[in-house]
Structure formats: C-alpha cells, structure tokens
C-alpha cells in the first residue's frame, strides 16, 4: 500500500509533540551572527514532523551537512538529540528559542551567537510522516546497505537520510505529475523517492522498492503518521493586532508579498 493509505488506516502522533507551528518544511532565509555578519547564500532546509526532523545545509562546493534527529520541546525551547548525521560532531549544540509569526519562524541561540530566519515552504493540508530508518537491506541477498536515518514527508516535501558507511541524504519536492524533483542531494544516485510498497508489521513498517534498479527493503520505526495535517501560514494574533493591521493596510500591505512568496 502507499504511505498515505497506511496513514489513513493507522495514524500516529507522538506524545509529547512539538508545537504545530514548528511542523512542516522550512527554508532558511538568513542567519545573522553576533558579529553583524549575515549569510543569505547557504541553502538550508529543515523538515519537522511530530518529533523526528531532517536538516540539510549546502554551502560552499563540497561542503554539506545533513542528518535526522529527534526534537523535543519544553514549552519554550527546542532541543535535538539522537542524530544520524554526516558530520562526526555536533556543530549546533545550543537549544533554540523559537517564535513564529505568519510564515516566518525565528530561531534565537540562547547565547546570543546567532539568529536564523526560517520560512515555511508551500504546503496544502496533506501527509505528514516521520519514520526512523532502522535498516535497509538488499531484498535479494539480505546484505545490509544502510543502518540509521529516516524518511520525512511534509505534504509535497520529502527528505530521505540513510546512515552507515555509505551515508546518503536527499531532499526533493513532489510535482503535480507525481514525480519528485531533487532539490539537494549528496550525490546523483537515486535515493528511492517512491512512497508505494509499504506494509505494517509487528516490528514496524517495511518498505519494498527499487533503488537504482536494485530491490531493497527498508524497515522503519514510526514517529509520526498523519494523513491530512493542516500546514498553515497563519498564526495567532490579538484582537488589537488584527484591528491595527486592518486600519493600516492601505500603506503597510501595499508592497507586501502574499503567503508563501514572502
């Protein structure tokens, strides 16, 4: 069955869960450091499900960071743990103070070292999945190909991370045709974008698919599986704030970009 069909039949939302307004696919618009220096060039994407998240950072040629982790929320800060990542050290050890307004998610380092401006990417209410990869094996030989990693799906946005000695990571966007356009990838190899061939078993979820012409089987532990999650660009506002914007809309909104394009 497809992953969407599985989500309809066996929905899962972890408890505790991160706030709804942190869930989805975000692209970083900028990072500003305490020194006053700002980076707007590095491509950075963050996909967040109920707890499981994926992170991709593509900067200078040949400089790539990618991984999956568990996120936790204590009511004020988000923390990350249990990384399966390309890097051999934790380059971002601080928790995050987060604030969301509209499609902008602002992340402050508690030390004051940096602030990041993230923007929610286009979504329709749709599939939200966070699956922790336990292992990937060659379906014909039984040989283990990857250990650790994960599959993140936020509507049209998909991240696949596969750990082990042949670490692999890719982020893509599903088009209206159903095909996935690769946005960022560690290499040109097929990561296996198919979301068909899933089966629920007592020890988790198995996924049978072809990857580069090779039949493989992936075994996942489920973190999040929701068939129709309401990804929204709107956030809460006070009545006074709503009245203020309506009163000043003729000047404040005349040059504003709408929705996802901001």
For residue 119 the two structure tokens come to 């923007």
Instruction: Determine the CATH number of domain 3-10+123-229.
Output: 2.40.128
* Nearest CA-CA partner of 161 in 83, 44, 255: 83
**CATH topology agreement for domains 3-10+123-229 and 20-122:** yes
What CATH number has the domain spanning 20-122?
2.40.128.280
pLDDT at position 262 is 52
State the virtual CA torsion across 150, 191, 261, 239 in degrees, nearest 10: -20
Token digits of residue 22: 């942190």
pLDDT value of position 59? 79
Give the domain ranges of the chain. 3-10+123-229, 20-122
Give the pLDDT of the chain (262 residues) as one tens digit per residue: 999 999 999 999 999 999 999 999 999 999 999 999 999 999 999 999 999 999 999 877 667 899 999 999 999 999 999 999 987 677 888 999 999 999 999 999 999 999 999 999 999 999 999 999 999 999 999 999 999 999 999 999 999 999 998 999 999 999 999 899 999 998 888 999 999 999 999 888 999 999 999 999 999 999 999 999 999 888 999 999 999 999 999 899 888 876 655 5
Question: Cα–Cα distance between 248 and 262 in angstroms, integer?
Answer: 19
Neighbours of 252 (CB within 10 A): 11
Is residue 83 classed as helix, strand or coil in its secondary structure?
strand
Provide DSSP, the chain.
Answer: --HHHHHHHS-B--SS---GGG-EEEEEEEEEETTS-EE--SEEEEEE-SSEEEEEEE-STT-EEEEEEEEEE-SSEEEEEEEEESSSS-S--S-EEEEEETTEEEEE-TTSSEEEEEEEPP--SEEEEEEEEEEEEETTT--EEEESEEEEEETTEEEEEE-STT-EEEEEEE-TTSPEEEEEESSSS--------EEEETTEEEEEEEETTEEEEEEEEEEEEEEEE---S-----HHHHHHHHHHHHHHSTTPPPGGG-
pTM confidence score: 0.94
pLDDT value at position 64?
A: 83
pLDDT score of 202: 86
**pLDDT for position 151:** 98
Residue with token string 């996802």: 260
- The alpha carbon dihedral of 258, 235, 229, 28 has a sign of positive
Could you tell me if 2 and 195 are in contact, meaning their C-beta atoms sit under 8 angstroms apart?
yes
Q: Which residue has the tokens 């599986």?
A: 225
């Amino acid at each position: 069955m497809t992953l969407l069909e599985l989500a309809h039949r066996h929905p899962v939302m972890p408890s505790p869960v991160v706030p709804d307004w942190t869930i989805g696919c975000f692209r970083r618009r900028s990072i500003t450091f305490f020194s006053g220096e700002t980076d707007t060039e590095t491509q950075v994407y963050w996909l967040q499900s109920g707890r499981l998240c994926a992170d991709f950072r593509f900067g200078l040629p040949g400089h790539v960071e990618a991984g999956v982790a568990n996120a936790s929320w204590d009511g004020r800060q988000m923390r990350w743990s249990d990384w399966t990542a390309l890097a051999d050290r934790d380059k971002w050890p601080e928790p995050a103070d987060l604030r969301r307004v509209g499609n902008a998610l602002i992340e402050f380092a508690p030390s004051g070292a940096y602030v990041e401006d993230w923007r929610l990417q286009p979504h329709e209410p749709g599939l939200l999945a966070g699956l922790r990869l336990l292992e990937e094996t060659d379906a014909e030989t039984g040989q283990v190909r990857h250990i650790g990693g994960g599959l993140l799906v936020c509507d049209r946005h998909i991240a696949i991370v596969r750990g082990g000695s042949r670490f692999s990571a890719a982020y893509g966007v599903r088009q209206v045709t159903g095909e996935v356009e690769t946005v960022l990838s560690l290499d040109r190899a097929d990561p296996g974008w198919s979301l068909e061939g899933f089966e629920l078993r007592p020890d988790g979820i198995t996924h049978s698919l072809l990857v580069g012409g090779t039949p493989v089987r992936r075994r996942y532990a489920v973190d999040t599986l929701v068939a129709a999650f309401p990804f929204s660009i709107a956030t809460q506002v006070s009545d006074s704030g709503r009245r203020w914007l309506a009163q000043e809309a003729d000047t404040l909104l005349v040059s504003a970009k709408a929705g996802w394009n901001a």
